[in-house]
Amino acid sequence: MYIAIEGVIGVGKTTLARLLQNTFDAEVLLEIFEENPFLSDFYADRARYAFQTQIFFLLSRYHQQNNNVPKILAEGKNLIADYTFAKDALFAGINLQGDELNMYHKVHEALGEKIPKPDLLVYLQATTDTLMSRIAFRDRPYERQMERAYIDELNRAYDNFFSKPFDHTPVLKIDSNELNIIQNPEHLKRIENRIRETLNLTPFQASLPLADEFQG
């Protein structure tokens, strides 16, 4: 079983992946982003550093997934990742244009053919205000110059990206605005149940839509 968790910066992908690890007896693959030497400069000047930032991320994510995902799955282990290789192109569509974007897509398409697809993608959704609040709370130095307009643009791009069929992979959408999976174990259990239900992994209970479940 291979589950990938997606969502905009600050939505809580890594936290959810770590909390689900023991539940599904899974290996966890976490995105490596701190090593990108262009990241701080990118948030300060997106136009100038976009191409360098995207290409570094593309190659880094390819090497991480190509070196780990096939091996873990071949060993018969469950895997939970806090990102997908495919979503990198979403960022490129926002940050690049012209010849740079065309070149990026050619490289991404060639590399993507070698990456295994997840059995389920869990898409965590949140409003831009919620995302900005969570980003400010975790206070990562390279995110302090992040503009609200950029997060809002990303948020709309994510919703559009996952509103269509995603590479033959089922998508479970979860509204995370009212969730607190760290302090409220019941919220985490409900997400676990929805994952089990979607993948038909027993035991699970038939549930209400998540938007109704998490009211109040």
Residue pLDDT, tens place only, 98-132: 999 999 999 999 999 889 999 999 999 999 999 99
The residue that leads in pLDDT, 50 or 212, is 50
* Element spanning 155, H or E: helix 148-161
- Within 2-45, residue ranges assigned H as helices are 13-21, 39-44
Asked if 16 and 122 touch (Cβ cutoff 8 Å), the reply is yes
> Mean pLDDT score of the chain, rounded to an integer?
90
Q: Which residue has the higher pLDDT, 179 or 34?
A: 179
At residue 168 the predicted structure's pLDDT band, cuts being 50, 70 and 90, is confident
**Domain annotation covers residue 216:** no
Is residue 205 assigned to a domain? Answer: no
**Spatial CB neighbours of 139, under 8 Å, sequence gap ≥ 6:** none
Q: What is the pLDDT of residue 207?
A: 61
Residue 70 is part of a domain; what is its CATH number?
3.40.50.300
pLDDT digits (tens, 9 = 90+) for 21-60: 999 999 999 998 778 899 889 988 988 999 999 999 999 9
Q: Is residue 22 assigned to a domain? A: yes
Query: Stretch 84-90: mean pLDDT, rounded?
Result: 90
Q: Is there a domain that residue 134 lies in?
A: yes
Q: What is the pLDDT of residue 214?
A: 42
Cβ density class 6-37: b for 16+ within 10 Å, e for less: bbbbbbbbebbbebbeeebebbbbebeeeebe
Residue 212 lies in a domain: no
Number of domains within the chain: 1
Domain residue limits at 166? 2-170
Residue 177 CA from chain centroid, whole number: 16
User: What is the pLDDT confidence band of residue 216, given thresholds at 50, 70 and 90?
Assistant: very low
- The verdict on residue 126 lying in a domain is yes
